[in-house]
Structure 1
Amino acid sequence: MHRFKDLEIWRLSRNFCSDIYETTSSFPESERFGLTNQLRRASVSVPSNIAEGCSRKSNRDFSRFLEIAMGSMYEIETQLLISNDLNFIQTKKLNSLLQKLDSIIKMTSKFKSTLK
């Protein structure tokens, strides 16, 4: 078992979740149950799945939870791009978020490859 609080990917994804909450707070009220909710739920899912995976007894099980977290990351990427298409976030903010997300994706992928 791993200690999730010691994992850099967990810390970064938790901070990224806060970035998503801050970003979506300026979305239109009409999106409260749309993109705002989707982005927030997906962003919470990432560190949550990393933490849950840490509780598993085998690396194979942990790896599966990392796959789920990565799926949420790609979901976030798509939703951020759509949010930009709809002018809910500026391109500069989008690029900053995508850069952070890309870093978390790469770190998670690399970490996952060490669990084999």
Structure 2
Amino acid sequence: MAKIESYRDLVVWQQAMDLAVSIYQATRSWPKEELNGLTAQTRRAATSVPANIAEGYGRESRATYQQFLRIAQGSLKELETHLLIAQRVGIAPAEAIGPLMSRSESVGKLLRLLIRKLSTD
């Protein structure tokens, strides 16, 4: 297993970054009138996930790190909700939302594992 020397080495951060990029790509086709609404909120939630993982990693205490990981989890749930709203109101089709939801769930599992690991070490 590779040594973790930076938050950039964390698989959860890497996957969260990939998810954020995917969200930006997916929301490019959303209606222009949503640019300051659901599009902006969705993008903000998506970028908050890797940002909080990175910020928490840089903190001095394990408890603070875990708190930032929990904030990232909250942002992930917010992202999923925005995606489901976009699907329900017809902004994005289920075929576009499904893969994004799967990626989000994968990041969520990794976040839970990391939080658990930090709790037991």
Normalising by the smaller structure, the TM-score range is over 0.9
Could you list the per-position Cα deviations for residues 53-95 of structure 1 after superposition, in whole angstroms to 9, with x for gaps in the alignment?
Answer: 0111211110000000000000000000000011111111111
Which ranges of structure 2 fall in alignment gaps of 5 or more residues? Answer: none
Question: 2:13 aligned with 1:10, yes or no?
Answer: yes
Match of 2:102 among 73, 79, 99: 99
Question: 2:22 aligned with 1:22, yes or no?
Answer: no
**How many residues get paired?**
116
Match of 2:59 among 37, 56, 61: 56
Q: TM (normalized to structure 1)?
A: 0.96
Give the C-alpha shift of residue 107 in structure 1: 0.8
Match of 1:90 among 93, 98, 102: 93
Which ranges of structure 1 fall in alignment gaps of 5 or more residues? Answer: none
| RMSD of equivalent CA atoms | 1.2
- 2:49 aligned partner: 46
Q: TM (normalized to structure 2)?
A: 0.92
Q: In 2, Cα distance between the equivalents of 1:41 and 1:2?
A: 27
Identical positions, percent: 36
